[in-house]
């Protein structure tokens, strides 16, 4: 019997992947097939409720469910997918504790890996904009919000305080609007716990490329949502979009700059790298499938579901990337795999959608169901009822109901759950005119210029003069670290720049252990110091900008 | 009025610090004093319940409370304390978003910074043993446990699987015993969700230096606890202690080695660095205080409370570092600061303790209260009742009761909440004979030897020969990274070694941006490659072990 036992491998643990595994567990007997699911996390995220993690109205782990509990018969492999070999029917996953890759052969493959955030061509976004897809993203955002509030309460510089209290969200689809609404509610609710912030201005800005938000819904509902958000103090910038970012500001296509320390981007998406290199037919970057959800060219062997696939219903309508569609795709796919094993006709995907729902928090939502348009408290109650009903498992239903009940009675939680922050070597983007560091700052990093130019400026009794200009390949900032002093020159970008930051801790470790590395900077420090006996330990001698 | 307004600064947000702020808020009018509390986290941890976070029987944030809510009139500064200047009455805290330190002057200072884990003289412990003090520690441990269970379920190597399922806890005091009991309950409870682990052996080992655990309690109670733990499958190693660790094993004083991937140490403690450099009278490393809890030499200005202070009661008995004592110290301290402002006699610390309680989870505990010894279910119910009563705030009481109720009905949660793991440059310790990497492994790091020696071993058709020996200052592992191949030699430690690991990502970034750094390794690779055209890309030519 085990000779004919089929190996089914599912890639991805989102709605599509997990529901496919659940359906297959029901449709196939254990002796017919082994089901294996590969996902980088061991939990499935109930995506519609993820924004509620920001305010803590749902507990951090109540919005997720362990995949092992949802699919008890499925073998979970908590690793990254590194390669899919369609010809030889083998999936390769990343190493675990042993530095060896693991190969998983399959008879039937389900690809449901979703998409990734892709900031290609948007300088500084990768370093400074926070995505919002996973539980880790939501927790990181929550911790970041608490961090900026804490700092704003302590900070004495009024400009910096305004930046700390400005929050920019890019993308006015469901995801962007729900994140912004939760964020806005949260920061305004907790402000009263911060003694010095009581009179400070909080700015929450939504940037959207179209002339109204919530393109997925009818116009009256979108306008209702805009009105509610405006009433709650949200600024909306329409027909514009994020194009670049630095650690100090968001930059829009129109040229508008918003000084801020928090940028969240819910767009744009791109194909995940392992699928980008897959050789098969595609529609733009998405995997092209038949109406039976089979990968074109690999019918009867490989299925693709969810956001990574380009799907049309039997009637020819393109399928949007929502949870309700993904779960139905999972059912169709499972039916077709069962048909491939048992024999029979494959099913076609015909689900046309039931409607759309978006929450604005604080007792308000917009809904468009079976052609009806509903807004306000009724829509919000509907939103809660539907999503609570849909979440699998009694434990989750119970916990979330409790969370909501407690959230009604008590103010939102404020505890930051960050783990130890290891700051490593990282890149940063600067725009022309940006100050990279100020004379008098503590020296916390060494800088290597990868692209662009900057001026070394000495400030002395109110006057300032440019000592030198540094270019790609130049290093700076070493002297404050080598001498353990504060910066004694200001560095300002002349052009857009890409810079590598080596934090003090790594710099000290490397120069001790790899003497040639340290020598580069010691040499530089020796060259720079004598030319300006008076000071500029962080500046090169004007004559030798290398 | 503001001319006479006093500045009170409290360092540390544990039991002592937070309760001192709460008492001061009650005893002093807002116009009499500003209270400022400095803590690296914005929450206070309810330490006695922290072990329950491991199993998730209490939600991740339910065991903490925001300090701003506990002390609404206190200014919270969420920074690290970097310096205390007792002469000039100024505290310096770490920079926030701006790289400038912040100075906080004070009239009255309360030092309640606790202790830190100190692994000085215990090779490899810093890199491989996990502490258990903060919420971050508890979350990190929980995520680590889930990670090793997930890997054990997938791993094919039986030796590695056994290591992944072995858990070692050092220290048999309250903290160690409670952590071990929770950990043991958790891994055994969730094992059934792992399809391949059902028949695998789980080993939980408690290592303690004395002849019985729970020195803080009477012998019959300790023996009861030992019996319960043994019945639940815990191994106990008494009269021995952890002295070193590698990524593969725990090493005990007796020479015993326990192969494992999880080591938790609840001992030893040391002074926090900023207090170690403080110039004042000390008892060993602790701050010496009067019976009024004033720092000796700074009476009427500075108080020291909690674990960082050496305290004796008015009757001359040394005060143990427990929550019940810390809260009473806070009251005495607040009374004395109020007396310093209003005038009056300082109070003396006379609290002698009410008893001790320790939970073993799963309906069992040990308690010694008002001279009575209680164990089992009654002690456990007492434990829960007392600690629930003592936790401040209705919201916390409510949430924790709910958590406990849900935990009774449903199996423990399994979702891992790790954030993106940035793996940076780090140190690692190896013992003689340890394999640093195997021929055939994926190349994920470059290694720099800081101390010790290792052999480069070529394995060929079952035979193996030593090609070279590497020493402090040598580098290895660069060729697999430069050529993007697997390791083609095995590296084995000859002596105890300290090695710096530079992960592939950082290595690639650095050699691109700092050419002199890359040149070191390219040069080495060129030297090593031609001498052995056949292979050893990760080994040096035998003639040139540099």
Residue A544 confidence (pLDDT): 36
Chain A residues lying within 8 Å of B517, measured CB to CB:
510, 514, 516-517, 520
CB contact under 8 A, B77 and A154: yes
Residues B368 and B432 in one domain: no
Which of B150, B398, B500 is opposite residue A513, by nearest beta carbon? B500
Using pLDDT thresholds of 50, 70 and 90, give the confidence band for residue B448: very high
Taking the CA atoms of residue B476, residue B482, residue B487 and residue B490 in that order, the dihedral angle to the nearest 10 degrees is -10
The phi and psi torsions of B159 (rounded to 5 degrees) equal -65, -45
CATH number of the structural domain spanning residue B460: 2.60.120.10
Q: How far is B193 from chain A (nearest CA, A)?
A: 6
**Owner of token pair 């100050």:** A435
Which of A97, A410, A517 is opposite residue B514, by nearest beta carbon? A517
Instruction: Extract the residue ranges of chain A whose pLDDT is less than 50.
Output: 1-2, 532-537, 539-546
The phi and psi torsions of B289 (rounded to 5 degrees) equal -125, 160
Which of A65, A139, A520 is opposite residue B417, by nearest beta carbon? A139
Chain B residues lying within 8 Å of A413, measured CB to CB:
61, 66
Residue A244 confidence (pLDDT): 95
Radius of gyration of chain B, Cα coordinates, nearest whole angstrom? 27
Residue B544 confidence (pLDDT): 36
Residues A260 and A286 in one domain: no
pLDDT tens profile B384-415: 999 999 999 898 999 999 999 988 888 888 88
Residues A389 and A250 in one domain: yes
Q: How far is B355 from chain A (nearest CA, A)?
A: 30
CB contact under 8 A, B516 and A513: no
Question: For residues A81-105, b (16+ Cβ closer than 10 Å) or e, as one string?
Answer: beebebeebebbbbebbebeebebe
Beta bridge partners of residue B123, listed in sequence order? none
* Stated length of chain B: 546
Helix, strand, or coil (residue B86): coil
Chain B residues lying within 8 Å of A146, measured CB to CB:
42
Question: For residues B386-399, b (16+ Cβ closer than 10 Å) or e, as one string?
Answer: bbeeebeeebbebb
Residue B542 confidence (pLDDT): 41
Residue B182 confidence (pLDDT): 95
Q: Are A443 and A480 in contact (CB under 8 A)?
A: yes
Is A263 a member of any domain? yes
Residues B365 and B477 in one domain: no
Distances (CA, A) of A86 to A107, A300, A301, A438: 11, 12, 9, 55
E strands present in B152-259: 166-170, 203-207, 234-237, 242-245, 249-252, 257-259
Across B151-158, average pLDDT = 93
Q: Using CB atoms within 10 Å of the CB of residue A479, give its burial: 0 to 12 exposed, 13 to 18 middle, 19+ buried.
A: buried
CATH number of the structural domain spanning residue A403: 3.50.50.100
- Number of domains observed in the structure of chain A: 3
Report angle CA B37, B38, B43 to the nearest 5 degrees.
85
Best of B415, B424, B518 to substitute, by most chain A Cβ atoms within 10 angstroms, is B415
Which of B366, B383, B409 is the C-terminal boundary of a domain?
B409
Distance between CA atoms of A142 and A149, rounded to whole angstroms? 11
Distance between CA atoms of B193 and B308, rounded to whole angstroms? 43
Residue B67 confidence (pLDDT): 95
CB contact under 8 A, B193 and A79: no
Is B321 a member of any domain? yes
Contacts 24+ apart (CB under 8 A), B267-271: B267/B170, B267/B171, B267/B173, B267/B176, B268/B117, B268/B118, B268/B119, B269/B115, B269/B116, B269/B117, B269/B118, B269/B307, B270/B115, B270/B116, B270/B117, B270/B118, B270/B120, B271/B115, B271/B116, B271/B118, B271/B308
Is B254 a member of any domain? yes
ipTM entry? 0.90
CB contact under 8 A, B60 and A417: yes
Residues B368 and B317 in one domain: no
Is B47 a member of any domain? no
pLDDT at residue B78 is higher than 80? yes
Count of CB atoms within 10 A of residue A409's CB? 9
CB contact under 8 A, A59 and B64: no
Best of A154, A156, A509, A515 to substitute, by most chain B Cβ atoms within 10 angstroms, is A154
Question: For residues B460-489, b (16+ Cβ closer than 10 Å) or e, as one string?
Answer: eeeeeeebbebeeebbbbbbbbbeeebbbb
* Stated length of chain A: 546
Which of B66, B440, B516 is opposite residue A520, by nearest beta carbon? B516
CB contact under 8 A, B139 and A395: no
Domain region containing B135: 125-267+356-409
Is B545 a member of any domain? no
CB contact under 8 A, B75 and A196: yes
Q: How far is A150 from chain B (nearest CA, A)?
A: 7
CB contact under 8 A, B448 and A77: no
CB contact under 8 A, A78 and B150: yes
Across B452-475, average pLDDT = 93
Residues B255 and B305 in one domain: no
Residues B280 and B259 in one domain: no
Distance between CA atoms of A173 and A192, rounded to whole angstroms? 30
pLDDT tens profile B183-237: 999 999 999 999 989 878 899 999 999 999 999 899 999 999 999 999 999 999 9
pLDDT at residue B536 is higher than 70? no
Residues B206 and B310 in one domain: no
Residues A306 and A229 in one domain: no
Best of B83, B131, B154, B163 to substitute, by most chain A Cβ atoms within 10 angstroms, is B154
Distance between CA atoms of B448 and B521, rounded to whole angstroms? 11
Average per-residue pLDDT for chain B: 91
DSSP annotation of A219 reads: H
Residues A496 and A458 in one domain: yes
Using pLDDT thresholds of 50, 70 and 90, give the confidence band for residue B420: low
Chain A residue with CA closest to B64: the answer is A415
pLDDT at residue B258 is higher than 60? yes
CB contact under 8 A, B417 and A136: yes
Is B71 a member of any domain? no
Chain A residues lying within 8 Å of B126, measured CB to CB:
none
Best of A419, A506, A519 to substitute, by most chain B Cβ atoms within 10 angstroms, is A419
Count of CB atoms within 10 A of residue A175's CB? 20
Residues 6+ apart with CB under 8 A from A465: A457, A458
Which of A66, A78, A196 is opposite residue B193, by nearest beta carbon? A66
Distance between CA atoms of B137 and B187, rounded to whole angstroms? 18
Indicate the pairing of strand B257-259 with strand B249-252. antiparallel
pLDDT tens profile B286-300: 999 999 999 999 999
Please provide the DSSP assignment of A226-293 as one string: HHHHHHTTEEEE-S--EEEE-SSEEEETTS-EEE-SEEEE---EEE-HHHHT--S-EETTEEEB-TT-
Is B372 a member of any domain? yes
Distance between CA atoms of B62 and B68, rounded to whole angstroms? 16
* Two tokens, residue A124: 């500084």
Chain A residue with CA closest to B74: the answer is A195
Distances (CA, A) of A87 to A83, A106, A304, B121: 12, 11, 16, 55
CATH number of the structural domain spanning residue B19: 3.50.50.60
Best of A158, A484, A513 to substitute, by most chain B Cβ atoms within 10 angstroms, is A513
CB contact under 8 A, B42 and A514: no
CB contact under 8 A, B75 and A195: yes
Best of B513, B518, B546 to substitute, by most chain A Cβ atoms within 10 angstroms, is B513
Chain B residues lying within 8 Å of A193, measured CB to CB:
66, 68-69, 72
Which of A307, A342, A377 is the C-terminal boundary of a domain?
A342
Is A458 a member of any domain? yes
Q: Are A128 and A246 in contact (CB under 8 A)?
A: yes
CB contact under 8 A, B419 and A424: no
Distance between CA atoms of B297 and B72, rounded to whole angstroms? 32
Chain B residue with CA closest to A69: the answer is B193
pLDDT at residue B261 is higher than 60? yes
Residues B251 and B281 in one domain: no
Residues B240 and B144 in one domain: yes
* Two tokens, residue A516: 């040639």
CB contact under 8 A, B66 and A193: yes
Which of B61, B394, B514 is opposite residue A417, by nearest beta carbon? B61
- In 3D space, the residue among B19, B6, B4 whose CA is nearest the CA of residue B293 turns out to be B19
Q: Edge-to-edge strand order for the sheet containing A166-170?
A: A129-130, A262-265, A166-170, A203-207, A234-237
Q: Are A472 and A450 in contact (CB under 8 A)?
A: yes
pLDDT higher at B527 or B281: B281
Residue A538 confidence (pLDDT): 52
Residue B419 confidence (pLDDT): 64
Distances (CA, A) of A299 to A9, A52, A288, A295, A350: 15, 40, 11, 6, 18
């Amino acid at each position: 019997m085990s000779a004919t036992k089929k190996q089914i491998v599912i890639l991805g643990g989102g709605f599509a992947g997990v529901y496919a595994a659940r359906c297959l567990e029901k449709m196939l007997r254990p002796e017919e097939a082994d089901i294996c699911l590969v996902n980088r996390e061991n939990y499935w995220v109930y995506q519609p409720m993820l924004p509620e993690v920001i305010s803590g109205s749902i507990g951090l782990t109540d919005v997720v469910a362990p995949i092992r509990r949802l699919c008890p018969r499925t073998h979970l492999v908590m690793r990254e997918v590194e390669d899919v070999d369609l010809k030889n029917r083998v999936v390769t996953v990343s190493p675990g504790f042993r530095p060896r890759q693991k190969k998983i052969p399959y008879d039937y493959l389900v690809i449901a890996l979703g998409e990734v955030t892709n900031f290609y061509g948007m300088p500084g976004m990768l370093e400074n904009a926070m995505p919002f897809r996973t539980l880790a993203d939501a927790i990181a955002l929550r911790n970041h919000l608490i961090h900026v509030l804490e700092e704003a309460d302590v900070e004495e510089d009024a400009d910096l305080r305004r930046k700390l209290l400005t929050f920019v969200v890019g993308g006015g689809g469901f995801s962007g609007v729900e994140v912004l609404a939760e964020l806005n509610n949260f920061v305004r609710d907790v402000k009263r716990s911060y003694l010095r912030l009581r009179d400070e201005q909080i700015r929450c800005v939504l940037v959207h490329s179209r002339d109204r938000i919530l393109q997925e819904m009818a116009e009256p509902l979108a306008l209702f949502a805009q009105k509610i958000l405006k009433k709650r103090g949200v600024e909306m910038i329409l027909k514009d979009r994020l194009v670049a970012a630095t650690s100090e500001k968001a930059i829009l296509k129109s040229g508008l700059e918003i000084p801020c320390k928090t940028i969240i981007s819910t767009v744009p998406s791109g194909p995940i790298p392992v699928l980008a290199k897959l050789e098969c037919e595609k529609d733009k970057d998405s995997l092209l499938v038949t109406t039976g959800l089979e990968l074109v060219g690999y019918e009867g062997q490989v299925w693709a579901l969810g956001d990574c696939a380009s799907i049309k219903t039997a009637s020819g309508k393109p399928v949007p990337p929502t949870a309700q569609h993904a779960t139905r795709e999972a059912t169709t796919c499972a039916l077709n795999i069962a048909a491939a094993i048992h024999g029979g006709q494959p099913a076609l995907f015909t689900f046309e959608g039931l409607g759309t729902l978006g929450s604005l928090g604080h007792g308000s939502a917009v809904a468009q169901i079976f052609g009806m348009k509903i807004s306000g408290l009724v829509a919000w109650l509907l939103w809660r009822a539907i999503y609570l009903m849909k979440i699998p498992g009694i434990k989750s239903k119970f916990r979330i109901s409790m969370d909501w009940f407690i959230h009604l009675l008590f103010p939102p939680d404020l505890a930051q759950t960050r783990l130890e922050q290891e700051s490593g070597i990282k890149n940063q983007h600067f725009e022309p005119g940006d100050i990279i560091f100020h004379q008098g700052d503590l020296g916390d990093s060494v800088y290597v210029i990868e692209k662009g130019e900057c001026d070394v400026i000495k400030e002395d009794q109110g006057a300032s003069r440019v000592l030198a200009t540094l270019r790609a390949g130049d290093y700076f900032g070493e002297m404050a670290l080598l001498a353990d002093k504060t910066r004694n020159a200001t560095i300002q970008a002349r052009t857009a720049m890409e810079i590598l930051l080596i934090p003090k801790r790594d710099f000290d470790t490397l120069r001790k252990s790899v003497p040639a590395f340290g020598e580069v900077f010691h040499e530089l420090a020796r060259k720079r110091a004598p030319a300006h006996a008076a000071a500029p330990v962080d500046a090169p001698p004007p004559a030798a900008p290398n």
